Amino acid sequence: MPVEAIKITDREQWLTLRKFDLTASVVSGAMGVSPYLSPLRLYLEKRGIEFPLKDSAPLRRGRRFEPAVAMAVEEERPGWKLEKCQHYYRDNSIGIGATPDYHIHGDARGTGCLQIKTVNSWVFEREWTVQSAPAWVIVQTRTESMLTDAAFGAIAVMVMIEPDYPTYIIEVAREHHEEEKIRQAVVDFWQTVEDGKQPDVNYSLDRALLAALTPKETIDKIIDLSADNEAMSGLLERAELIAKIKRDEERCSEIETMLMDKMGDAARAQVPGFSVSWKVQHRKGYIVQPSDPRVLLIRSKANGS
């Protein structure tokens, strides 16, 4: 079945269309390469469990800065003319869809596909280079290029560093074998949904998910993990990490006290490579609303920590 281009009329229609597909922004979750979305979370969503849509500072920043990034791209590549995407592209034969940020016109290779990102400086340093993007962004761009049959894909990333907000353009060539990996991952994912084969918990990503799925305990229920090697080794490792954290925090406190002693009544200290200040800060009072979260408490029987 050919890819269908559906005109986007409003946000609600767009969100409804996306419910029935794996979209470019979440395919990396199905492939296990997303740092934000686990296969289990994605599986539960597509099995019909509804999670509230949450806005966030990075999402708001992305929406607000998107036109500025597009302007920066046209300044960097004066031969390119960007067109805001107005369609949702869907391959219903395997259940995959995408809405690129922009189409790229004016390139000799043909129409391209542009994905826009904004990141903080420390995120860029940790996950990006001026020539490469994280795997999940590459997957997103490849998916959009594939569904729009673009001649090439590109990622524009603006780094939130004043005053110039540097913007880097990373091109992503069409590669048939990589696109086949995406298609196969989508097919395999929908098969697990149909078969009811729940993915394993991702301990790095699924903490909040587990808390949401099991918000209440069963009174007086006890589970015996005394023969569970993973639980035992994990708790032993946790105890060692807590001891190390405590030592590190004590040393940090000693260093801070040393600085306080040296600064006396000075508001700031000049130290190459650091910004050091010691000022009075007013803190407003606030009231915390009552809640009943489940709290995981772990104490060592040996030392009480």
What confidence score (pLDDT) does residue 52 get? 79
pLDDT tens by residue, 14-65: 999 999 899 999 999 999 999 999 999 999 999 999 887 778 888 899 899 9
Report how far residue 116's alpha carbon sits from residue 126's, in angstroms, rounded to the nearest whole number.
18
Q: Tell me, what's the pLDDT at 75?
A: 96
Q: In this predicted model, what pLDDT tens digit does every residue of 65-74 receive, in sequence order? A: 999 999 999 9
Write the Ramachandran bin of 194: left for phi over 0, alpha for psi from -120 to 50, otherwise beta: alpha
pLDDT of amino acid 58: 84
Q: Is the peptide bond before 163 cis (omega within 30 degrees of 0)?
A: yes
Query: Which amino acid is located at 65 in the chain?
Result: F
Q: What helix, strand, coil percent values describe the chain, rounded to 5? A: 40, 15, 40
Mean pLDDT of the 185-202 span: 96
Report d(CA 264, CA 23) in Å as an integer.
57
Question: What band does 291 get if pLDDT is binned at 50, 70 and 90?
Answer: confident
CB 3 within 8 A of CB 150: no
Q: Quick one: pLDDT at residue 222?
A: 94
Is the model more confident about 40 or about 293? 40
pLDDT in tens, 85-121: 999 999 999 999 999 999 999 999 999 999 999 999 9
Residue whose structure tokens are 């690129």: 100
What's the CA gap between 118 and 157, in Å, rounded? 5
Q: Which helix (H) or strand (E) holds 211?
A: helix 207-213
What amino acid is encoded at 15 in this protein?
L
> What are the backbone dihedrals phi and psi of residue 105, each rounded to the nearest 5 degrees, phi first?
-110, 160
Residue 22 in tokens: 């794996």
* Domain segments of the chain as ranges: 4-195, 216-265+293-305
Q: How far apart are CA 21 and CA 144, in angstroms?
A: 13
Query: 4-195 has which fold?
Result: Lambda Exonuclease; Chain A (3.90.320)
Q: Is the pLDDT of residue 266 over 80?
A: yes
pLDDT band at 258 (very low <50, low <70, confident <90, very high): very high
Q: What is the pTM of this model?
A: 0.82
Residue 295: pLDDT band (50, 70, 90) is low
User: Tokens 């990373």 map to which residue?
Assistant: 170
Residue 257, C-beta contacts closer than 8 angstroms, at least 6 positions apart: none
Residue 302 confidence (pLDDT): 66
